[in-house]
Amino acid sequence: MDKDISKIQEDIIKKDIRKVEKLWKDVEENNTLEYHLDRMTKDELVKVASNYSVRGITSLKKADAVNKVKDGIINNIDYVLELLDLDAFLYLEEIVKLDGKKEYFGSELINANYFRNRGIMFTGIDQGKLYVITPKELCDIIKDKLNDNLKSIANNNSDIIKLSAGLIYFYGVLTIEELSKILKEEYNFDFEDEKFKKLLLIGEEVGFDYQIEEDFVYHIDVEDPIFLMEERNKNTDINFAKFDRKTLLKAAKPDYIEENKQANKLEKVLNELFVIDKNILREEIDSFSIAIKNEAPLDEAIDTFLEAYEIESEEENEILKEELKKLSLGVKRWTLKGFTQGEIDNKKKTIVNEEKVGRNDPCPCGSNKKYKKCCGK
């Protein structure tokens, strides 16, 4: 069995090495777009062509495919430029200012791959150094297009992608139609549906924490998107929780974990009882929260969490169970449309006692807002 695992690992390493070797080959000094496209594989050319809606590449000979892709890039470059987010815009602007040749650093991998998949930038080695290269003929076409108007479009594209990622973090799974409607109605965006789908695909490509499947998009921690949508749709009496832009932009960051006071308290309790690495502890608490978001039975999630600890007394065991139950009430649930179970319970109490709550009184849900601006709307 160990030999099989070693063989699999060896094959993966060899595959990765071959991939790197393809990206980093010696390049000629005065190279053209045609030169770089010709160094690509047929599959890579097909991928570039797809970003310009160029069809019929697979049936062509390599030289004919290269020419067809080259013409597609030159004739349709505006289409790709208008889909840039701000990071991509600034990266392209930097390379063009350097006459199309910039020394490569590892942190640039996402942008370099993004533009390589669109036939705008290529990678190569010159005198032992790694470079990202945009052919001169493309630099000449692009440089006048990188103006304030395009930068404004790129900034708007970034907001659409990031706010979408933030909403998916809190809602777990949405149809693309639902996500589009929320962005238009709650955040005043105006975009065509086709462009919105393209921007979502770009967000997925450059590493935001969501995946797209047919007509819906879901967070990478979601285990069963169809099940969650079905459960969520049963809660017809709950509207989607609302979040401001600042909160969504924070939540859009890859590997984001929302601050939770009860999680901090649980961490403190565990540190008093056990010697444990802080990062490992945070990961375990986050895994518990993700299980709750995925609608794992509470007792099962608690037992899974506690299995990692050698608890000596029944008293300690009960203390931890109670803390985990409290934590579960403070987790923003995907089936509850971004609300916590605690918030939903408080809203129900508010409805029962609504006659006793003055419009200017603090809202019983615990939001620290006045009742008239919260549950009393």
Judge contact between 96 and 139, C-beta under 8 A: yes
In a domain, 247, yes or no: no
Residue 215 has a pLDDT of 94
Distance between CA atoms of 182 and 276, rounded to whole angstroms? 42
35 and 135 part of one domain: yes
Distance between CA atoms of 307 and 311, rounded to whole angstroms? 9
215 and 118 part of one domain: no
The number of distinct structural domains making up the chain is 4
- Report the alpha-carbon angle 235-240-245, nearest 5: 165
In a domain, 351, yes or no: yes
In a domain, 335, yes or no: no
Distance between CA atoms of 107 and 97, rounded to whole angstroms? 20
32 and 114 part of one domain: yes
138 and 183 part of one domain: no
Among 142, 165, 192, the domain boundary falls at 142
In a domain, 249, yes or no: no
CB atoms within 10 A of CB 237: 9
Q: What is the CATH number of the domain that holds 225?
A: 1.10.10
113 and 38 part of one domain: yes
36 and 134 part of one domain: yes
70 and 114 part of one domain: yes
32 and 73 part of one domain: yes
81 and 116 part of one domain: yes
In a domain, 1, yes or no: no
125 and 79 part of one domain: yes
How far from 99 is each of 212, 278, 371, CA to CA, in Å?
A: 36, 47, 59
In a domain, 189, yes or no: yes
Distance between CA atoms of 213 and 176, rounded to whole angstroms? 10
Residues 6 or more apart whose CB falls under 8 angstroms from that of 250 comprise 166, 256
In a domain, 17, yes or no: no
Query: Could you tell me the residue range of the domain that residue 119 belongs to?
Result: 25-142
Among 118, 142, 166, the domain boundary falls at 142
Distance between CA atoms of 89 and 96, rounded to whole angstroms? 11
In a domain, 269, yes or no: yes
201 and 158 part of one domain: yes
37 and 136 part of one domain: yes
Distance between CA atoms of 154 and 77, rounded to whole angstroms? 15
pLDDT by residue for the chain (377 residues), tens only, comes to 454 545 554 554 444 445 555 677 888 876 799 999 999 999 999 999 999 999 999 999 999 999 999 999 999 999 999 999 999 999 999 999 999 999 998 888 899 999 999 999 999 999 889 999 999 999 999 999 999 999 999 999 999 999 999 999 999 999 999 999 999 999 999 999 999 999 999 999 999 999 999 899 999 999 999 999 999 999 999 999 999 999 999 999 999 998 888 888 888 888 888 888 888 888 999 999 999 999 999 999 999 998 888 877 888 889 899 999 999 999 999 999 999 999 998 877 655 454 566 777 777 665 556 776 776 66
Q: Alpha helix (H) ranges present in 82-192?
A: 86-97, 109-116, 136-142, 148-171, 176-187
